[in-house]
Amino acid sequence: MPSNKQKILVIDDNVTNVELIDAYLSAADYDVVTAYNGKIGLDFALREAPDLVLLDIMMPELDGYQVCAQLKNNEKTQFIPIIIITALTDIEDKIKGLNAGADDFLTKPLNKHELMARVRSLLRIKSLHDDLDSSEDIILTLALALEAKDPYTKGHSERVARLAANLAKAIGLTERGQDRIHKAGVLHDIGKIGVSLKVLSKNSELKPDEYIEVIAHPSIGATICQPLKSLSDIIPMIKHHHERFDGDGKPDGLSGDSIPLGARIISIADTYDAMTSTRPYRTAMKKEVAINILKQEIDNGQWDSELVAKFITMLSENNAA
Ligand SMILES: [Fe+2]
């Protein structure tokens, strides 16, 4: 049976230290796992995602800074609190630890009460974050459930997310930037939950009132995601993915660079995927036909022309589509 205890990983090459920490934490009913070098500890953390890591600095193979930086750069482990334990008291070493993403420090010889207080405090923050994370999962599940109802849009959000993240990579955004745009791509049409299925699946031209109903979906999506602070950077991408570069889009008529970059990227990926998928009112276009339409539309004012050019190059260079 899986344990409900919070799991703490201790990575240190000093056996005496590890045994001491293990004894303190096990007595407080934590589930303690130990690793005696950086490489083994890193592999374990990436595989098992513990709730907290206590990390020594000076170790053979991988030192604590390297382990810390790798955990903080990985989406699966980035929010695991890391306490660096070191004999070093030099301010430079603390700065190096902070730069690697460490959340807190403890200095050897360890004070039991200080250790327990820091562990408790970081674990409290971690469990708050876990709750937030599951709220985000619920919204992601809702987005997929919405798509599953409609055979014509099944897989659309995931494909848009992949294309948008690939374009973000092609223009040199960081991995974190690419991940955020991927998430926004998955969620971009979540607001369609608020649009009637009759209108969504209509296979003829929309009446004016139906168009108003559909075009409200970016704002509805932003409202749905609003309570989640962890999505705050993504909400503008959702809200503005139907803006036009020339200012003629919805909901706010933003133009040019005032449209968030992620929204400009998703807008291109969204249109391309819509063209190359079968819809109630037409069959899927071939990739070459869709690319030709994108080229024709460059001067038409709908999109950021530099991004479209990059997107077309990306599609031609690899099989991202
Ligand atoms: Fe949309």
Q: What pLDDT digit, counting tens, does each position of 121-158 carry? A: 999 988 888 877 777 788 888 887 777 767 677 789 99
pLDDT given at position 1: 45
CATH fold label, 149-317: Hypothetical protein af1432 (1.10.3210)
Q: How far is the CA of 293 from the centre of ligand 1 (A)?
A: 19
Q: How many CA atoms lie within 13 A of 206 on its CB side?
A: 15
Q: How far is the CA of 266 from the centre of ligand 1 (A)?
A: 9
Distance between CA atoms of residues 80 and 82, nearest Å: 6
Q: What pLDDT digit, counting tens, does each position of 246-269 carry? A: 999 999 999 999 999 999 999 999
Show which residues are catalytic. 192
Instruction: Give 6-43 as a DSSP string.
Output: PEEEEE-S-HHHHHHHHHHHHHTT-EEEEESSHHHHHH
Q: Any idea of the CA torsion for 47, 52, 57, 58, to the nearest 10 degrees?
A: -60
Three-state DSSP state, 83: strand
- Name the E strands within the chain: 7-11, 31-35, 52-56, 82-86, 104-107
Average pLDDT taken over every residue of the chain: 90
CATH superfamily of the 7-130 domain: Response regulator (3.40.50.2300)
For the chain, count helices (H), then strands (E). 14, 5
Q: How far is the CA of 218 from the centre of ligand 1 (A)?
A: 6
- Which sequence spans correspond to the domains of the chain? 7-130, 149-317
Q: How far is the CA of 262 from the centre of ligand 1 (A)?
A: 13
Question: Who has greater pLDDT, 298 or 212?
Answer: 212
Q: Which two tokens stand for residue 314?
A: 């990306």
Q: What pLDDT digit, counting tens, does each position of 86-125 carry? A: 876 777 888 888 899 999 999 888 999 999 999 999 999 8
Residue pair 65/57 in contact by the 8 Å Cβ criterion:
yes
